[in-house]
């Protein structure tokens, strides 16, 4: 008889859906995944990825047994027992620790599964031995650093507040694809009379459906934000009482705005002055508002500066934290206890995730343990990443659910269960709702979860006693002060609870106010006010999410990510490129061949490709992706990638 199990989607996604999972327990099979109608955010529906989870769970691309690879990349595999696999992994780890020290061991993980046990507790072994970690800067780091300079922390509007807004602005945020449930909440606000605005160089799925589309040139968001604020000041659309009571440095900001005439803004951004005034009027007259700032916008050389500037607009309109970026900083979950960082005796070496390819290529590490991430697809400067993972003097262990680009470079492959094959707790980075995500089916094949593997490795090494703490006891301690309307026992019973959220009207800044002029930035060597970076010529390649894929996941269900690139008709004509032609994008880092789609959905000088696509020549799009970290926050700069574009000389036959 079929049964239904409550679960939470743990993927790196804003929505973190609460799910109802229908299973056939006798066949140990997932039949259907649907949204929980009781969730104020999920609202009973799921995205194309969630709907495809039954197929992905039972995919022929699942890793079901441990394997040793004889030669990498892509060499023959030999199946081994779990005892052999753990013995080998532990023996090589001991050897490297004794010979080269903990800095030569790299644990490489990220948000492929955001479960608190799967991702965080499983780091205890690595924190105990002092392994090198990355700084987790590939996605949202610079935006968090930027907001901290002015607000003290980066949390803001809660999703359930969106339907009550009179204005919702998606600034560099294609929510109709990457945050479908937040988009649905915005549509409810529009049904109640709100205006929706999209600020995006590309006519994205979101931009096509909003009331106003504003299209600045890539990398000019600071100038546009200054233009909007200048118009608000000139037209007396600012909330002077709020500014006087809750902000610091308004006079400094006004002095900076005096340099930004709308003519100058139009010249830099390409946005007509009348459109800048229109957006300023909406901000000044439609209150309350929510400005949803996308992670993609800040993945550029001046991305942190852009987030700073955009976040100040709602403050002039009289809003306490009137933006949404990420609410992870609002919660009181003690992740440092879960990971063991709080107890670790020594601080590990932390290296740039953005520039990791260079370190891998140089042979900085002799042992790399990879889980919860697919670095041979997701990291920039892919040629360097893959050359580094191919080195004969580094032992690479990959623990994953599916065969992917990174498993090709593994000396040892370990099978992991999907989220539907284990019990965990998932905390969203947007909304406050949390519940136990129960195991729906038994683990397939010989897959073993991350905690199991971590503890087996730890049992063969000299580690601190806290590494072996019961994971559920550790989780109880980590959540001790984090739950608002219940306790850990309620969570284990299956109740949906709310997380305690830090107040929106409190500011842990040096002045205790919203710092329009940041004293912290001044102290740390940054400009106290946002700065518009220089923008160069040539083609700028931007990449973003496709509705069928979560990063590199679901290619086993929906097929390869489309190897296409959007080209403006004027650029296509000047280069002799027609719709459907093969074109080669190249720079000093590498090249990729894609099929041109000639469209006015991108402006001249801008190219767009689906994130993490593999070209028709077998090269990933990230072969050309810039690996230079931002000065502010060390974040990624994918969307500042400059490329040359030309027709492919040698036609490639599709297969």
Tens-digit pLDDT profile for residues 559-596:
999 999 999 999 999 999 999 999 999 999 999 999 99
When pLDDT is cut at 50, 70 and 90, the band that residue 652 belongs to is: low
CATH, range 539-647: 2.40.40.20
Residue 650's pLDDT is what? Answer: 62
Q: How far apart are the first and last CA of the chain?
A: 42
CA dihedral sign, ordered 36, 42, 48, 49: negative
Tell me the pLDDT band of 538, cut-offs 50, 70 and 90.
confident
State CA 651 to chain mean position distance. Answer: 35
Q: What does the block give as tokens for 537? A: 């010529």
According to CATH, where is 3.30.200.210 located in the chain?
3-57
* Position 142 pLDDT exceeds 80: yes
* Matching CATH number, 3-57, of 3.40.630.10, 3.40.50.1220, 3.30.200.210, 3.40.50.1780: 3.30.200.210
- pLDDT mean over 643-655: 72
Q: Where in the chain is the domain with CATH 3.40.50.740?
A: 67-138+335-419+444-468
- Tokens coding 77: 């595999």
Region 103-116: mean pLDDT is 98
pLDDT at position 539? 96
**pLDDT at 655 (0 to 100):** 33
Distance, in Å, from the CA atom of 616 to the CA atom of 597, rounded to the nearest integer, reads 14
86 pLDDT more than 50: yes
**Residue intervals in the chain for CATH 2.40.40.20:** 539-647
pLDDT at residue 536, rounded to an integer: 72
pTM assigned to the model: 0.97
**pLDDT given for residue 2 in this prediction:** 85
Q: Is the pLDDT of residue 653 over 50?
A: no
641-647/539-544 β-pairing: antiparallel
Instruction: Calculate mean pLDDT across residues 11-15.
Output: 96
Q: What is the mean pLDDT of residues 152-181?
A: 98
Domain with CATH 3.40.228.10 in the chain: 141-328+511-524
Could you identify the residue written with the tokens 């259907």?
Answer: 32
- Name the H helices within 459-545: 471-478, 488-492, 519-524
The arrangement of secondary structure in 67-138+335-419+444-468, i.e. its CATH architecture, is: 3-Layer(aba) Sandwich (3.40)
Per-residue pLDDT averaged across 69-96, rounded? 97
Question: In the structure encoding, which two tokens stand for residue 645, read together?
Answer: 């574009």
As a whole number, mean pLDDT of residues 445-464 equals 97
> Does residue 427 carry a pLDDT above 80?
yes
Q: What is the pLDDT of residues 350-371, one digit of tens each?
A: 999 999 999 999 999 999 999 9
For residue 651, the model assigns a pLDDT of 53
pLDDT at 182 over 70: yes
Average pLDDT, the chain: 97
% of the chain with per-residue pLDDT over 70: 99
Tell the residue number behind the tokens 């973190």, with chain if given.
16
pLDDT surpasses 60 at 378: yes
Q: Which of 381, 110, 269 is nearest to 389 (CA)?
A: 381
Closest CA to 464 of 340, 338, 334: 340
* pLDDT exceeds 90 at position 24: yes
Question: Distance (Å, rounded) from C-alpha 93 to C-alpha 168?
Answer: 51
| pLDDT band with cut points at 50, 70 and 90 for residue 346 | confident
Distance CA 249, CA 238 (A): 15
Cα(639)–Cα(221) distance, rounded to whole angstroms?
13
pLDDT at 424: 98
Q: What's the rounded Cα separation, in Å, for the pair 598 and 601?
A: 9
- Among the listed ranges 29-43, 133-147, 396-410, 531-545, which one has the minimum average pLDDT value? 531-545
* Residue 230 structure tokens: 């200048």
Share of the chain above pLDDT 90, in %: 98
Tell me yes or no: is domain 141-328+511-524 CATH 3.40.228.10: yes
Q: Residue 436: which of 116, 182, 179, 119 has the closest Cα?
A: 116
């Amino acid at each position: 008889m079929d049964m239904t199990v409550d679960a939470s989607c743990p993927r790196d996604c804003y929505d973190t859906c609460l799910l109802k999972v229908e299973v056939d327990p006798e066949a140990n099979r997932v039949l259907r995944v649907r949204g929980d109608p009781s969730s104020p955010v999920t609202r009973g529906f799921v995205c194309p990825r969630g709907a495809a989870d039954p197929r992905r769970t039972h995919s022929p691309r699942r890793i079901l047994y441990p394997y040793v690879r004889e030669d990498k990349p892509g060499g023959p595999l030999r199946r081994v027992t779990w005892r052999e696999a753990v013995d080998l992994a532990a023996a090589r780890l001991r050897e490297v620790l004794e010979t080269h020290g903990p800095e030569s061991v790299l644990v490489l993980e990220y948000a492929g599964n955001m479960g608190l046990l799967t991702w965080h507790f499983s780091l205890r072994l690595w924190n105990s031995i002092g392994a090198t970690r990355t700084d987790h800067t590939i996605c949202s780091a610079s935006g968090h650093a930027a907001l901290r300079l002015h607000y003290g922390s980066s949390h803001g509007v809660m999703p359930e507040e969106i339907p009550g807004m009179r204005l919702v602005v998606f600034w560099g945020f294609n929510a109709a694809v990457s945050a479908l449930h937040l988009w649905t909440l915005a549509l409810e606000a529009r049904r109640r009379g709100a205006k929706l605005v999209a600020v995006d160089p590309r006519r994205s799925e979101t931009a096509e459906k909003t009331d106003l589309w504003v299209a600045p040139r890539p990398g000019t968001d600071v100038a546009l934000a200054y233009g909007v604020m200048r118009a608000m000041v000139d037209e007396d659309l600012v909330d002077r009482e709020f500014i006087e009571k809750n902000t610091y440095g308004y006079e400094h900001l006004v002095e900076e705005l005096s340099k930004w005439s709308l003519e100058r803004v139009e010249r830099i951004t390409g946005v007509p002055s009348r459109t800048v005034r229109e957006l300023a009027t909406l901000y000044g007259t439609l209150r309350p508002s929510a400005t949803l700032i996308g992670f993609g916008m800040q993945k550029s050389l001046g991305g942190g500066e852009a987030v700073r500037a955009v976040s100040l607009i709602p403050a002039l309109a009289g809003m306490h934290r009137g933006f949404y970026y990420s609410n992870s900083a609002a919660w009181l979950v003690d992740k440092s206890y879960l990971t063991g960082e709080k107890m670790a005796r020594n601080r590990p070496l932390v290296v740039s995730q953005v520039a990791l390819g260079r370190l891998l290529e140089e042979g900085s590490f002799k042992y790399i343990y990879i889980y919860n991430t697919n670095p041979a697809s997701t990291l920039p400067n892919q040629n360097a990443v893959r050359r580094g993972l191919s080195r004969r003097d580094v032992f690479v262990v990959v623990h994953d659910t599916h065969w992917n680009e990174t498993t090709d470079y593994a000396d040892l492959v370990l099978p992991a269960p999907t989220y539907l094959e284990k019990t965990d707790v998932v905390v969203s980075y947007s909304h406050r709702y949390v519940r136990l995500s129960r195991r729906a089916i038994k683990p397939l094949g010989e897959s073993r979860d991350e905690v199991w593997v971590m503890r087996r490795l730890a049992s063969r090494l000299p580690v601190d006693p806290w590494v072996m703490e019961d994971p559920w006891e550790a989780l109880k301690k980590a959540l001790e002060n984090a739950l608002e309307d219940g306790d850990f026992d309620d969570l284990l019973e299956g109740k949906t609870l709310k997380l305690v959220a830090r107040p929106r009207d409190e500011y842990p800044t040096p002045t205790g106010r919203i710092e329009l002029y940041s004293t912290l930035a001044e102290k740390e060597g940054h400009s106290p006010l946002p700065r518009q970076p220089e923008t160069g010529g040539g083609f700028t390649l931007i990449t973003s999410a496709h509705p069928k894929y979560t990063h590199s996941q679901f290619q086993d269900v929906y097929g390869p990510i489309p190897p296409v690139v959007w080209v403006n008709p004027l650029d296509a004509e000047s280069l002799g490129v027609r719709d459907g032609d093969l074109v080669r994008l190249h720079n000093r880092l590498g090249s990729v061949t894609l099929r041109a789609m000639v469209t006015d959905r991108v402006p001249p000088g801008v190219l767009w490709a689906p994130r993490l696509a593999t070209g028709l020549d077998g090269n990933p799009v990230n072969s050309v992706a810039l690996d230079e970290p931002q000065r502010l926050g060390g974040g990624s700069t994918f969307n500042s990638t400059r490329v040359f574009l030309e027709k492919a000389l040698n036609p490639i036959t599709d297969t």
